[in-house]
Amino acid sequence: MKNTIKKLLKRQPLVVVLIGMTFLLQGYGLQAQETSFDRISNRWTKAFLHNEYRQIDLGEVQPGWWSAMWELETVEGTTFKRIKNRWTDEYLHNEYRKIEMGEVQPGWWSAMWELETVEGTTFKRIKNRWTGAYLHNQNGKLELGEVQPGWWSAMWTFASVSEAENDPEEEPCSCLGKTFRTQSDHSWAEFRMPPAIVGQVIKIKGGAYNKYVFPKCNRVTWTDLTFRCDPRTCTWVKDRGNWDADALCHGSPGNSLYVKVGVR
């Protein structure tokens, strides 16, 4: 036995470390926790919450849409939940007095939700911690407000995504490198995405690059950009932001590793 361990240490030290960590974790009763996701559907319309079109919406969804899968994060020390989208990693909130998706701060009550069980049923009401308002679609659209006890429009089903969908047997795909480009008459900018595993996100701050050629400037410019390795297409896609060209003369391209600029 001792000789076997010595051989493993010489040939596969990482394997031995991992095995040791596994036994240690098991000894303390600690197990790796896999993230679970739910689909959230409305009792009245049977439609599902999703953000397939870059905004929170209700409608029919496809089985593989990560945009219709949600992680329920427990806010530490409370029973409130944050509702996080699997596709974009954004949270449901009403910080700006409307229901929307986006990044949130840890202390925002606007992104914390109480899931109230409707008496005598398995349905839930989704109540905002900040405003005390409920999520419903009584008027044909998603909104937050006061509700009546019998409104099915304010009752929701949380159904776990099946293990087969959540962790398919086939190997997940990955994205090859991809370049996005914008150019003016005499300058260009490229946003060069590296090879990546699905789900990887790259964010680039807004910037600009100019080449002056008499009698005018030739600038390329871009807003804050978000790119994602899309699990459905196995290719890089632009989630947010835009780029353009104009005749202004100021701006900086910043120092992102994924941005290259030049003249033409």
**Which domains can be identified in the chain, with CATH numbers?**
38-166 (2.80.10.50), 174-263 (no CATH)
CB 90, CB 106: distance < 8 Å? no
Instruction: Give residue 222's pLDDT.
Output: 97
pLDDT for 253 equals: 95
Q: Helix crossing, 13-27 with 2-11: angle to 10°? A: 120
DSSP string, 87-148: TT--EEE-TTSS-EEE---TT-GGG-EEEEEPTTSS-EEEEETTT--EEE-TTSS-EEE---
Are 43 and 123 contacting, i.e. CB atoms less than 8 angstroms apart?
yes
User: What residues contact 257, with CB distance under 8 A and at least 6 apart?
Assistant: none
Q: What is the pTM of this model?
A: 0.60
Residue by residue, pLDDT tens for the chain (264 residues) are 444 444 444 444 443 344 444 444 344 443 445 689 999 999 999 999 999 888 999 999 888 888 999 999 999 999 999 999 999 999 999 999 999 999 999 999 999 999 999 999 999 999 999 999 999 999 999 999 999 999 999 999 999 997 556 554 445 678 999 999 999 999 999 999 999 887 788 999 999 999 999 999 999 999 999 998 887 788 999 988 999 999 999 999 999 999 999 999
- The span from the CA of 120 to the CA of 264, in Å, is 69
How much is the pLDDT for 63? 81
Find out whether the peptide bond into 168 is cis, omega within 30 degrees of 0: no
Q: Work out the burial of residue 179: count CB atoms within 10 Å of its CB; fewer than 13 is exposed, 13-18 middle, 19 or more buried.
A: exposed
pLDDT score for 33: 53
Q: Which amino acid is at 256?
A: S
113: amino acid identity, one letter: W
pLDDT at position 172: 62
The pLDDT, as a whole number, for residue 208 is 97
